[in-house]
Each structure stands twice: as C-alpha cells, then as structure tokens.
Amino acid sequence: IVELPVAEGDRVTKGQVLARIDPVQAQSEAASAAEQTRALESDERAAREQVRAAEADIAAAVARRRDADQVLTRRQELATEQLVPASELDSARAAAEAAAAQLEAASAAAARARQNLETASRRVAQARAQQTRARDILAKTSIESPIDGVVTRLRVRNGEMVVVGVQNQPGTTLMTISDLGAIDAEVKVAEADVLAVALDQKANVTLEAIPGRTFSGKVVEIGASALPVTGTAAAREFRVVVRLESPDPGLRPGLTCDAEIVTSERTNVL
C-alpha cells in the first residue's frame, strides 16, 4: 500500500479513492500489452496488404491465361487449315499451360495470404484481451468505495503488503465500508419459535449500549436453514434479520441486542 487517505470512522462517498496499491508492475504490464497490441496490429495491416497484392496477382494471372487461351484457340484454328507451323501451335499451347500454372500459383499464394491475415487477426484479438486484462489490473491498484458509508473497520496501514486472493487462499481484507443509513439487527430464533416468524412482522429491539431505549423495526429476512450448532448445545437456531425503522446515528456495527418479535395479536379478550 503506497497511499491510504482514510482512517477508521471517516465518512466516504461512492467512487472515492480509499487506498492505492503500488502500480509499478501493473503499469509496466499495461504498457507492454499496449506495445504488443500495436505491433500485432501493424502485422495485421501488412497481412491485409499482402492479401490485396495476392488478389491483384490473381487478377493479372486470370488476364494472362485468358489471353493465352485466346492465342491458343486462334493457333488451333489456323493449324486446322494448315496456315501456321506446328511450332507456333506448340508455343501457344505451352504459353496457355504456363498461364494456367501461374494462375494456380497465384491462387495458392492468395490462400496463404488470407490464412496469414486470419492468424494475425486472432493474435491481435488475443493481444487486445491481454491489454484489457492489464488495464483492469492497473485500474484496481486504486481502491474506490463502492457505496456511500463509513469506514467501520480498517485492517491495514500505509506501507503494508497485501495479497490477491487465489483459490483456497483468501486475499487481504483492507477495510469494511458500512452504510449506516440502514441498520439491521441479526438475532437467533429457536427452532420452536421460528415457524411463527414471518416477513414484515413488527419487532422491538433493545441494546445493551443504550439501556432503557427501544427501537422499533420489522422482520426483513428469515434464515432458510438452521445455524451450525456450537459447543454441546442441542437446540437449533435460525438467523432472523430485523431492520430498524429509525436508527440512532450513534449506532455502530457489532453492538449486541435483544429483540421481541410480535408474531400474533389478539384484541377484545380477557
């Protein structure tokens, strides 16, 4: 980390730079990828010019063969009437065969040129993909906030080493950004009571940090499966999320609380 302009508790906005990772290697890779792409694009243009030249050679070979075929036809007609010697007929026939061979050679050269162009185009596409990857890695050396919120936990300091997460190895967690505009209380409900809980039910939440005060809320999420059993406890519990309707600005993530969820109401009864 070469720059860390925020501290724990700071309020940040979406898109604000939170940290910068040493960009030297990423910049070098991005520059190398850009130069490689330009070089391969130049090769692609040269291959395209070769295709045009090969197509022009085919057109010239077609014209030569047409002319040689016409000369051969005239010589054959004259030879039928014995107006030309046999040597001229043989020369015309050889010229026609040479023109046909030249046309086949030009066609083969054009096919090779088209294949070279296709290969060059694929190399350019591959280089552009690598360039996009290098640009993405370079862009990610600047860590930006994805939301408006508060830095509720800062786990690193300027100058520390960070690693990218790979398979079976988590990456370094830099910080936690929390949106305190909506605060949820996560509570555990016993399996004997969870079936009575439903979405949008009213709830009252009390916090140990603010004794004597009750926050109203409603159920916004109910766990679909039981939480893992810890220790020797045999009772199963389910995770239920209660969203506070009017949270106090001083609340912070990690506070402990209790919740009373109203699962049913009865009126006009003894």
Q: Give the model's pLDDT for residue 233.
A: 63
86: amino acid identity, one letter: A
Between 141 and 270, residue with greater pLDDT: 141
Q: Give the model's pLDDT for residue 142.
A: 93
Whether the per-residue pLDDT at 117 is higher than 90: the answer is: yes
Rounded to the nearest 10 degrees, how much is the dihedral formed by the CA atoms of 140, 141, 144, 146?
30
Q: What are phi and psi of 109, to 5 degrees?
A: -65, -40
222: amino acid identity, one letter: I
Say how far apart CA 28 and CA 161 lie, in whole Å. 19
Q: Give the model's pLDDT for residue 16.
A: 94
Per residue in 1-43, pLDDT (tens digit) is 999 999 998 999 999 999 999 999 999 999 999 999 999 999 9
User: Mean pLDDT lowest for which of 5-9, 166-170, 242-246?
Assistant: 166-170
Q: Do 162 and 156 contact (CB within 8 A), yes or no? A: yes
Per residue in 47-98, pLDDT (tens digit) is 999 999 999 999 999 998 999 888 888 878 787 777 778 778 788 889 888 9
Q: Give the model's pLDDT for residue 217.
A: 94
Whether the per-residue pLDDT at 158 is higher than 70: the answer is: yes
pLDDT mean over 160-175: 84
Whether the per-residue pLDDT at 229 is higher than 90: the answer is: no
C-alpha dist (Å) from residue 148 to 49, 126, 139, 255, 260: 53, 37, 20, 21, 31
Q: Give the model's pLDDT for residue 232.
A: 67
Whether the per-residue pLDDT at 210 is higher than 80: the answer is: yes
Whether the per-residue pLDDT at 239 is higher than 80: the answer is: yes
Mean pLDDT, the chain, integer: 90
Report residue 192 as tokens: 């004997």
Between 187 and 93, residue with greater pLDDT: 187
Say how far apart CA 247 and CA 181 lie, in whole Å. 8
- Percent residues over pLDDT 70 in the chain: 99
